[in-house]
Every structure is written in C-alpha cells, then in structure tokens.
C-alpha cells in the first residue's frame, strides 16, 4: 500500500534544462518572385497564349473552308444518287404491282382498270407518290423506321 501511495505522489517533471520556448513570432513566407517579375510573367504567358490561339484559329478557319468546299463539291453527286435511288424504288414498286396484279383481268400498271388516275397531266409526267405509296411494298418495320426518322434526329 505504501508503494502505491509513493507511485501516486511521483509527478511528471520537466526535462532537465526546461522546455523549449514557444514560437509565437510571425515567420514570413519565402518569396521567389517580386511583383515586377510576376507581372512580367503574366504578360509573357498571356502573349504566348494569344499567339497560339491565333495559330489555332487560322487552322480551324482553313479546315472549315476545306470542309465547306468539299461539301459543295460532293453535294450534286449526293443529290443525284438520292434521285437515282428514288427512281429505282418507284420502278421496283411498279414491278411489284405488275407481279401482284398479274392475275386480275383488265389491270394495267399505273392505271385504275385501264383509266388513268391523273387526267389533267401529260402521260409522261412523273407524279411523286405519297409516303405510304412509296413504302407500300416494304416491310412495316422499315416503313415505321422511315416514318419516324425525324423523331430520332
């Protein structure tokens, strides 16, 4: 019991020579650049960035001109291919109609039982079919995809 009391009386004392002093003075940050150097660096970096930006803008303009020229050069070919495919589909529709109505007596392709559908236009005039007639002999899935194409773009 005596030993326990002596252990309680033993105090934690400072190290020999005492504790170090507490630092409370302001320590300024180390300066690498003064104000003039900072402004010079800012102006230099900005000038370099403006130069690179101008070079990039010139390249973008050149690319845009080239793409516009390419589009204008190929546009007539694309339109011609579109028109050619349109006429081929109309021809396929006529052939399909002829094959489908081969057993019907008196049926003539492009007419309604021998009577022209359009009476006030010359016979060699192309009448563009409506959307449903154009896709009359295609699968319903293809018709639906084409009908709602604008909803997806």
Element (H, E) at 57: helix 35-100
Res. 64 pLDDT band, cuts 50 70 90: very high
Q: Which helix (H) or strand (E) holds 52?
A: helix 35-100
| Distance, CA of 99 to CA of 93 (rounded, Å) | 10
Res. 6: pLDDT tops 80: no
* Nearest alpha-carbon partner for 127 in 139, 143, 111: 111
Q: What is the pLDDT of residues 108-126, one digit of tens each?
A: 888 888 888 888 888 788 8
pTM of the shown model: 0.56
Give tens-digit pLDDT for 68-118: 999 999 999 999 999 999 999 999 999 998 999 899 888 888 888 888 888
CB-count exposure of residue 69 (10 Å: 0-12, 13-18, 19+): exposed
pLDDT tens-digit map of 14-31: 888 888 988 888 988 888
| Cα separation, 4 vs 54, whole angstroms | 85
Quick one: which H or E segment has residue 147? helix 140-147
Contact 128, 93 (CB under 8 A): no
Dihedral of alpha carbons 56, 61, 65, 68, sign: positive
């Amino acid at each position: 019991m005596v030993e326990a009391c002596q252990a309680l009386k033993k105090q934690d004392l400072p190290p020999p020579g005492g504790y170090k002093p507490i630092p409370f003075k302001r320590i300024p940050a180390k300066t690498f650049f003064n104000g003039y150097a900072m402004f010079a660096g800012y102006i230099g970096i900005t000038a370099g960035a403006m130069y690179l930006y101008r070079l990039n803008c010139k390249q973008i303009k050149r690319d845009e001109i080239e793409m516009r020229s390419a589009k204008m050069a190929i546009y007539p070919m694309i339109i011609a291919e579109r028109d050619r495919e349109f006429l081929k589909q109309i021809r396929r529709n006529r052939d399909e109609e002829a094959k489908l109505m081969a057993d019907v007596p008196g049926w003539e392709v492009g007419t309604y039982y021998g009577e022209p559908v359009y009476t006030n236009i010359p016979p060699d005039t192309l009448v563009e079919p409506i959307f449903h007639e154009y896709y009359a002999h295609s699968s319903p899935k293809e018709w639906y995809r084409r009908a709602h194409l604008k909803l997806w773009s």
